[in-house]
A = this chain, B = another copy of it.
C-alpha cells in the first residue's frame, strides 16, 4: 500500500481551500489508482492532512539547539509534534501540496511546515496544485524553487494552477465542500490527472531506487 499526503496550505475557514480539497481528494485517488496511465499503482491511499489537526500543528520553529538539517533520524527530533510529523512524512511515498497564494507568495504556515524538517523531504516526489485569482502562479514558482532547491524534493514538472472566479477570490462565494463540483473547478480534472500520471512515475522510480 502506497501513501500520498494531501497537504493544505490554507487554514482559512470558511475559505476556498477546503472545498477545492474535497474535490481534489477523490480525483487524486482516481488518478493514482488508475492502471491505464503512467506507472501502474494500485491501492494508493491519499491522506488528507488538515493543518489544524495532528500531525501538523507544529507551531513556530522555536528549538534552536538543533537545526532540522542536523537531524537525520526522524525519531530524533526533540519536539514530539515535530517527531510525529517527521515519522508521518517519512512514511509517505509522495506529497501533494494544495495552496492558495497570499501576497504573491506561499502562506507562512506552509513554509513553516516544510522548514521544520530537512532530510525527510529529500528525493520525496511532490505535486503542486495552487489556486488564486491568477491561479497562484507566483506561489507555485516560489514553492518549486525551494522544494526542488534546498529541500531537494522531486517536483513534478506539471503543476496545476486553478483560477478562482472573481466572486470566489474577492467576493464571499467559496468553493463548495459538498455536492457536485462547479464547472470552474471540474474543468481542471484532465490537467490534474495528467499531472498525477507524471507524479506516479516519480513515486514509482523513487520506490524502486
A contacts, CB < 8 Å to B: 10-15, 51-52, 60-65, 102-115, 142, 145-146, 149-151, 174
Contact = CB atoms under 8 A, between A and B. Distances in A.
B61 A104 contact: no
A interface secondary structure, majority: loop
A123 to B, nearest CB: 16
Contacts of A105: 111, 142, 146
Contact of A146 (B104, B111, B145): B104
19 contacts: A11-B62, A12-B61, A12-B64, A13-B64, A15-B64, A52-B60, A60-B109, A61-B102, A103-B111, A103-B146, A104-B145, A105-B146, A107-B108, A107-B115, A108-B108, A108-B109, A108-B113, A108-B115, A109-B112
Q: Within the oligomer, what is the number of copies of this chain?
A: 2
A164 to B, nearest CB: 12
Nearest to A111: B108
Contacts of A15: 64
A105 B107 CA distance: 12
Nearest to A63: B12
Nearest to A143: B105
A67 to B, nearest CB: 8
A64 B104 contact: no
Contacts of A51: 60
Nearest to A149: B104
Contacts of A150: 103-104
Nearest to A172: B65
Given A64-B174, A103-B114, A104-B149, 20 more contacts: A11-B62, A12-B64, A14-B64, A15-B64, A51-B60, A52-B60, A52-B62, A60-B109, A61-B109, A103-B146, A103-B149, A104-B146, A104-B150, A105-B146, A107-B108, A107-B112, A108-B108, A108-B109, A108-B114, A108-B115
